[in-house]
A and B are shown apart, each in its own frame.
Chain A
Amino acid sequence: MNIRDTTAYSLRAVVTHPLRAFLTVAAIAVGVAAVVLLTALGEGVRGYVTKEFSQFGTNIIAVNPGRLQTHGVPLGVFGTVRPLTIEDALALERLPAVESSVPVVQGNADVEYGRRTRRTTILGVNHAMLRAFTMDLANGEFLPDGDPFQPRPLVVLGATVAKELFPDRSPLGEAVRVGGNRFIVIGVMAFKGTILGFDMDDIVYIPTARALSLFNREGLMEIDIVFNATRSVESVVKQVTTLLEARHGAEDFTITTQQQMLSVLDSVMNALTATVAGLGGISLLVAAVGILTMMTIALAERQKEFGLLFALGIHRRQLLVLVVLESLFLAGSGGVIGILIGIGGAVLVSHLIEGFPVSLEWRYIAAAEMVALFIGAVAGVLPAIRASLLDPIETLRTE
């Protein structure tokens, strides 16, 4: 029996019962569509979050006060943590591998202009912030490179704050009150949007020393270091560690690299994608049970046909191939239809919900089709083995 005849015979058997074939194909198609759609959504979210995280570049490391480690006994006076200071930031900036450092203090305070007040996020930063985080100004200028300890009371407004406080005029040169203190507006940031739910436009930027004073803080919350991209992150971490240990007398700080953050994020996102793929997999499992049931019923009805084929001289393995091919046709076509539905669904979602991240991954699509074919093969093999073990005499005895 050649391939063409085998294929034609199996295909003919499938299309003879269109409703049965449709239901079987539909079961597989739903499972595959679920996998394709869910993984597209999962991968979309993963890509979106990763992009948001890495948009500031990968040659940034963050230094935070305190050490994340577990001690066996209380450390007493030796366990005290020295705060990170502006001096630390300045010292770090002098390292050969470091291009700039941004001492960061964050808090919330009222920003007032005339009779308008908005409670918003206050970021204490320095002049290097703009370049470190590749941000753009809409108007004016960013905080100047002045005396870091006695900076002038200057403020740069986020786009939302500027719009809310100055709905019908330019804020440049105007005096606003931040936490009750008078600041002169020298710049307005370009619209940035939200990053992981954080509104990047509802922020005002003031010099770090002013923020320390405003929030009555002794130390910085973070120092962000931009290093030369030609240097390895490990060598920069080593330099930073050595310097700060020398200054603090102990390693009382924590360094987080962008790679570490992305790695953690990646593992979270992998888990997310695996979860949604698993949900789709359950749909495929249900489909497998469906196709197995359908094939079992279909083959039970065709026992006489198989008995006849035996009488006509078919080999058992030929019969196995015929039956498994039928199952593969059903599962394979269900898989293809499911992929088309899944892709269509993903495209539809991205159109209906503007900006919703969707990413069709061919490896998941190919895997879904492979799983569909595997299900088809397994669902076909069991009834096919039963069919091949039939007693032709019994099956041919009656009408």
Chain B
Amino acid sequence: MISLSNITREFVVGGQSVFALHDVSLSIDSGEYVSIMGPSGSGKSTLLNIIGLLDRPNQGTYVLSGHNVTDLDADGLAVMRRRHIGFVFQFFHLIPRLTAEENVALPLMLAGVHGKERQEAVDKALAAVGLSDRRKHKPDELSGGQRQRAAIARAVVMAPSIILADEPTGNLDRKSGEDVIHVLEKMNAEGITLLVVTHDPEIGSRARRRLLLRDGAVAEDKRPDALRA
């Protein structure tokens, strides 16, 4: 599903090179539930951005679902993102002027899906996150947890193979955070690969595979269930 080989991401800050990721190789299979943890500046978000095709590595090779995406142009990356990846952000990033339903429909709209097909996909996504009764509400009429569930519905509406969640509970109270994680885990149980970047050890420990990044490199790659087995 996801195969990163010798990925390096280097930034130049104040005339000096800073390695956000250095020679990272990683393989994630379809349907895995992976948490990515590590201190600030360890390269978590950079890794997620590269996997999400929002950023490009300076070196290395990235193969996604059998396609080498390392050298795709901007349009090619946009198509791959649209087909394969759903994003969930810490700050939800719902468009304020659109209703929950319209926000969820956005990826379908960009992909040119319309009419009955679009409506059915939106209905299904909203039902999956338990927000069918809030479909006409705008983001400022929803609670934080509901907003994040709307964002998850938007992430899954195109039936992606991967969900990338960057601190999905970071802006929520404990109860809402747990609800959101349950929804994401439900999606994973249905076969979607789930990658969660988090600072919260409790959230991180729920994943079946836990990556710990330090100084731009994978310091630990644990599979507790496998160890126990």
User: Which residue numbers of A lie inside 8 Å of B, CB to CB?
Assistant: 1-2, 4-5, 9, 12-13, 16, 304-305, 307-316, 318, 392-393, 396-399
User: Which residue numbers of B lie inside 8 Å of A, CB to CB?
Assistant: 45, 49, 52, 54-55, 74-75, 78-79, 81-83, 87, 89-91, 93, 95, 97-98, 106-107, 109-112, 114, 154, 171
The chain A residue sitting closest to B93, CB to CB, is A308
What's the least CB distance linking A28 to chain B, in Å?
A: 23
Kindly identify which residue among A305, A318, A399 contacts B95, using a CB–CB cutoff of 8 Å. Answer: A305
If A393-B55, A398-B91 touch, whether A9 touches B78 (CB-CB below 8 Å) is: no
The chain B residue sitting closest to A307, CB to CB, is B93
Judge whether B97 and A309 touch: CB under 8 Å: no
List the A side residues contacting B112 at CB < 8 Å: 1-2
Question: Bound complex: CA of A129 vs CA of B74, how far in Å?
Answer: 82
Judge whether B107 and A313 touch: CB under 8 Å: yes
Give 15 pairs: A residue, B residue, CB < 8 Å, sorted on A: A2-B112, A9-B109, A304-B93, A305-B95, A307-B93, A309-B110, A312-B81, A312-B106, A312-B154, A313-B79, A313-B83, A313-B111, A315-B75, A393-B45, A396-B93
What's the least CB distance linking B66 to chain A, in Å?
A: 19
Question: Bound complex: CA of A392 vs CA of B112, how far in Å?
Answer: 22
List the B side residues contacting A397 at CB < 8 Å: 45
Question: Bound complex: CA of A307 vs CA of B49, how far in Å?
Answer: 13
Question: Bound complex: CA of A5 vs CA of B110, how far in Å?
Answer: 9
List the B side residues contacting A310 at CB < 8 Å: 54, 78
The chain B residue sitting closest to A313, CB to CB, is B82
List the B side residues contacting A5 at CB < 8 Å: 109, 114
Tell which of A9, A308, A318 has the most Cβ of chain B within 10 Å. A308
List the B side residues contacting A399 at CB < 8 Å: 90-91, 171
What's the least CB distance linking B5 to chain A, in Å?
A: 22
Judge whether B91 and A312 touch: CB under 8 Å: no
Judge whether A393 and B114 touch: CB under 8 Å: no
List the A side residues contacting B98 at CB < 8 Å: 12
Question: Bound complex: CA of A305 vs CA of B109, how far in Å?
Answer: 15
What's the least CB distance linking B57 to chain A, in Å?
A: 13
Question: Bound complex: CA of A398 vs CA of B87, how far in Å?
Answer: 15
Tell which of A4, A310, A311 has the most Cβ of chain B within 10 Å. A311
If A13-B97, A308-B95 touch, whether A314 touches B114 (CB-CB below 8 Å) is: no
Tell which of A2, A310, A314 has the most Cβ of chain B within 10 Å. A314
| Beyond A312-B106, A398-B91, 13 extra complex contacts between A and B, CB < 8 Å | A2-B112, A308-B93, A308-B95, A311-B52, A311-B87, A312-B82, A313-B82, A313-B111, A314-B78, A316-B74, A316-B75, A393-B54, A396-B91
If A311-B87, A393-B49 touch, whether A1 touches B109 (CB-CB below 8 Å) is: yes
Judge whether A313 and B114 touch: CB under 8 Å: no
Kindly identify which residue among A12, A304, A311, A318 contacts B81, using a CB–CB cutoff of 8 Å. Answer: A311
The chain B residue sitting closest to A4, CB to CB, is B114
List the B side residues contacting A315 at CB < 8 Å: 74-75, 78
The chain A residue sitting closest to B86, CB to CB, is A312
What's the least CB distance linking B147 to chain A, in Å?
A: 12
What's the least CB distance linking B21 to chain A, in Å?
A: 14
Tell which of B91, B106, B110 has the most Cβ of chain A within 10 Å. B110
The chain B residue sitting closest to A312, CB to CB, is B107
Question: Bound complex: CA of A207 vs CA of B108, how far in Å?
Answer: 91
List the A side residues contacting B45 at CB < 8 Å: 393, 397
List the A side residues contacting B93 at CB < 8 Å: 304, 307-308, 311, 396
If A318-B110, A396-B89 touch, whether A313 touches B81 (CB-CB below 8 Å) is: yes
